[in-house]
A = this chain, B = another copy of it.
């Protein structure tokens, strides 16, 4: 595990045990300098010339290649931009064009809500009788039939950490002529992913969780190589054009994955993300996965031994989980607030889920032991019963 742990790369407040890297990863230590230098020497000195001279224009593809390596995607098949919500819309809209005559988008109740909302919006916009059908996660495979246009799933359930079998579901989707779109928000940088082997048509994800790109870091989209030259972008912005600086009146899709770019990229966020991605240069995803499972197993065993009031909400089989562990507790919101007050940061998801992310780049066994000690303290002393922990924040 020692070759995975690199606490010195990240800046974490003294004494904090951060088990929320599945929501927002911590800051790589050199980030203030990276951003300060970028704006001073690039924006400040190069001004408009930065698009060429500082390589801003190529950042979305360059970083896309860095993400590709972590998700089993060939070089040149991933591009960064926009938000995950926008990328879901792009992917599903493209998928519908590939399955004419079919009218059902299949998802599950474990999907992150914005994925479902974006599809709802697409369906309302199209107004052609499309249907978003959501089933329980365990019923997805059986629900894939010949009426399904697109299967759109988040691989790791944001509440429970339950992991879908990417290969099996993709295969079943293809047997029934459906297009497969995977949301890898809780997968990229968390578990080994082999997109190319799965043969899925498209995937999307975000980079502010396990990839530590910072708040609002750009999303990514993957399109399978054989489709990249024919796919029709619904969001056909100028930076996805074959020749943006010709300023032609008509859209002509750019080469390959470039066509999934839309507008002017957020250069500061891209710069921060590119810096954060360098951390991954020598990370072996299998070793990281082993380290993550070890931390999770230790956590589950210790919590169950010492805090019986918490009920495991995640699958018990480590191979069926992503890189998080969730427990149910009736007063979970207040308990989590009390815990955060004691510098163990996890988060809460309605109605009763206390969620803990395990990120072996900066969390070790000693952190897990200490975190469980403090969880036990919150529960043994009923700190969750303090009214000050019961007031809901806007973001929880």
Contact = CB atoms under 8 A, between A and B. Distances in A.
A48 B264 CA distance: 27
A86 interface: yes
Nearest to A241: B117
A98 interface: no
A23 B48 contact: yes
A134 B215 contact: no
B52 A24 contact: no
A39 B268 CA distance: 12
Interface in A181-236: 206, 208, 214-219, 232-236
Contact of A47 (B26, B206, B269, B395): B26
A2 interface: no
A249 B216 contact: no
Interface string A365-378: 00000000000000
Q: What is the oligomeric copy number?
A: 2
A18 interface: yes
Interface stretch (A77-85, A277-285, A312-320, A379-387): A77-85
Interface in A49-85: 49-52, 56-57, 82-85
A114 B269 contact: no
Contacts of A122: 234
A63 to B, nearest CB: 13
Contact of A120 (B37, B124, B128, B250): B250
Nearest to A37: B32
B395 A120 contact: no
A267 B215 contact: yes
A214 B47 CA distance: 9
A47 B20 contact: yes
A140 to B, nearest CB: 15
Interface stretch (A166-174, A300-308, A345-353): A345-353
A201 B272 CA distance: 37
Interface in A11-63: 11-13, 16, 18, 20, 23-24, 26-27, 31-33, 35-37, 39-40, 43-45, 47-52, 56-57
A239 B312 CA distance: 29
Nearest to A246: B350
A233 B121 contact: yes
A299 interface: no
B247 A350 contact: yes
A268 B50 CA distance: 18
Contacts of A121: 233-237, 251
A120 to B, nearest CB: 5
Nearest to A24: B48
A124 B232 contact: yes
A217 B267 CA distance: 8
Given A118-B237, A234-B125, A47 B24 contact: yes
Contacts of A234: 121-122, 124-125
B83 A345 contact: no
A257 interface: no
Closest 7 A/B residue pairs (Cβ): A83-B263, A121-B236, A85-B263, A114-B238, A85-B237, A216-B266, A215-B267
Interface of A: 11-13, 16, 18, 20, 23-24, 26-27, 31-33, 35-37, 39-40, 43-45, 47-52, 56-57, 82-86, 89, 93, 97, 109, 112-114, 116-118, 120-122, 124-128, 134, 206, 208, 214-219, 232-239, 241, 244-251, 262-270, 272, 340, 345, 347, 349-350, 393-396
